[in-house]
Amino acid sequence: MTNVKADRVVVIGAGILGASIACELSQRGAQVTILDRGKPGSGATHASFAWINAREKNPRAYHELNRRSMDMWPRFADHLDTANAVPVWGGELRWASERKRTAKLQTRVNRLQSWGYDIRELSADQIAEMEPGIRTENCTLGSWSAADGHVDAIAVTKACLALVEKQGGTLRYGTEVTGFRKHRGNVSAVVAGEDELECETVVLACGPDAPEIGKLAGIHVHTYWNNEATLVTTPVGSVFRKTSVILTPYEDGPAVFVRQLRDGRVMTNLARGDAPNQSPGPTEEQLVHSLNKAIQYLPALEGATVDEIRRARKPIPKGGHPILGFVNTVPNLYLVSTHSGVTLAPLIGEMAAIEILNKVDVHLLKPFRPGRFDATPR
C-alpha cells in the first residue's frame, strides 16, 4: 500500500471561519496547525449577533451563497459534539410603522420572493397571532422570513477546534505571526516567534488582522473594519413564542435586533448598517438605550439588566462581498474574509477544504475571488 503524505496546512485565525475551515481540512486528512494571537473565538466571533440569514444579502450571487450555506447548517452542526452548536430556527420578524419604511419593506419582500426566499408579508393582526407578546400598535406592515435562525457562534467555534484537536491537529493560541518564508513565490513556512512552521498551504482567516498579516506575506488585503458591539442581558423567561430573531421598527433612532440565547439571556444589536472605516462603534449609553427600546416592544424583557457588553473589530471586505480563494501573487495562500462569517461558516469551511486539498476551483465561489481587485481601474 502506498502511503500518501498528508497536506500540511497552517490556518491563521481561530474565529468561526478559521475553525470551520480547519475542521473540514482535518476531517479530510490534512495535517492542520491553527495559530491565533488571542483566544479562540475572542474576536469578531465573540461579538457577532450570529443571525443566520440571506435577507439583506445583495446582489443575487451573494444572496444565493448565503442561502446555500443556510441549507448546510443542519448537517454542519450535526457532526459537532455539542448541542450548543445547533442553531435556533424560527425565522426573523420585523415590521414598519411609517410610510417610507413600509414601502421599503414591501419592495424588499417582493424582491426576495422573486428570488424564491421564504418570506411573507404580515399584517398587525397576523403578527399578534404569531407573537402575542409583542407591542405593534403602530404597525403598518410586517414581514417574516421563515428560514432564518441564530446560533451560539462561540460554541460552534470551540466545537470545531475540539474536532481538529481530536484529529491530531495542533492549536496554538497567544501566538503572533511575525513573518513568512517563501520559495519560488509560495509560502514555504509561517514564522511564529522562534518557530518556523513548514506548510504546503496557508489559510489567512484572521478577520480584521488580515491586512496587517497579509503585508508580511507581500499581499494587499482589501478590507477595512468597524467596531462591533452587542449587549447581553441577564436571563429572563421566554420572550418569543415562535420567532427566533426580531427587528424593532426605526422609531426614535436605529432599529434593534433581538434574539434569546439558550440560557435565557437576550442579545441586542443596533441596526447601524456598514459604518465608516474604523468607526468607534456604539457607546455604552447607546447600547443601554437599545435594550430599553427592545423592552418597549417586548414587555417580557422588563426587569432584564445588562450582563455584559461584547466588543470586537468586525472585518468588512471592500465592496461588502466576501474574498475567498487563492491569491494570484502567492499561489498557495488561501484568503478568507467576510462580514457574514456565521451564516457562511459551513459553506466556506467545506468549499475551502475542497479547493485546497483537491486542487479544484469551485464555480460557486468565482464572483468572490481575491483576483477581482488585481486589475487597475481605467
* pLDDT reported for residue 275: 59
Percentage of the chain lying above the pLDDT 90 cut:
89
Cell readout for 141 is: 406592515
User: What's the pLDDT at 274?
Assistant: 57
pLDDT band at 328 (very low <50, low <70, confident <90, very high): very high
Q: How many structural domains does the chain have?
A: 2
> Residue 103 has what pLDDT?
96
pLDDT digits (tens, 9 = 90+) for 40-96: 999 999 999 999 999 999 999 999 999 999 999 999 999 998 889 999 999 999 999
Do 165 and 218 fall within a single domain? yes
In sequence order, what are the residues at sequence separation of 6 or more whose Cβ sits closer than 8 angstroms to the Cβ of residue 27? Answer: 163, 167, 353
Confidence bin at 200 (pLDDT 50/70/90)? very high
The residue range of the domain holding 19 is: 8-49+153-224+319-373
CA distance 316 to 360: 27
* Mean pLDDT rounded to a whole number for the chain: 94
**Do 216 and 99 fall into the same domain?**
no
**Residue 1 pLDDT more than 80?**
no
CATH number, domain containing residue 364? 3.50.50.60
Same domain, 170 and 291: no
pLDDT of residue 238: 96
pLDDT grade for 377, boundaries at 50, 70 and 90: very low
Q: Is residue 12 one of the residues assigned to a domain?
A: yes
**Statement: residue 304 has pLDDT above 80:** yes
Q: How confident is the model at residue 278 (pLDDT cuts 50, 70, 90)?
A: low
Smallest CA-to-CA distance from 270 within 260, 278, 285, 262 is with 285
Residue 224 DSSP label: E
| CATH number of the domain residue 111 falls in | 3.30.9.10
pLDDT tens, position by position, 4-50: 457 999 999 999 999 999 999 999 999 999 999 999 999 999 999 99
For residue 77, being part of any structural domain is answered with no
pLDDT of 197 higher than 60: yes
Instruction: Write out pLDDT tens, residues 331-370.
Output: 999 999 999 999 999 999 999 999 999 999 999 999 999 9
Give the span between the Cα atoms of 182 and 171, in whole angstroms.
23
- Cα–Cα separations (whole angstroms), residue 226 to 251, 274, 310: 24, 8, 14
Out of 135-139, 149-153, 261-265, 295-299, which region has the weakest mean confidence (pLDDT)?
Answer: 135-139
Are residues 127 and 266 both part of a single domain? yes
pLDDT at 2 over 80: no
User: How many angstroms separate the CA atoms of 233 and 218, rounded?
Assistant: 43
C-alpha distances (whole Å) from 11 to each of 16, 99, 164, 204, 358 are 12, 49, 11, 6, 17
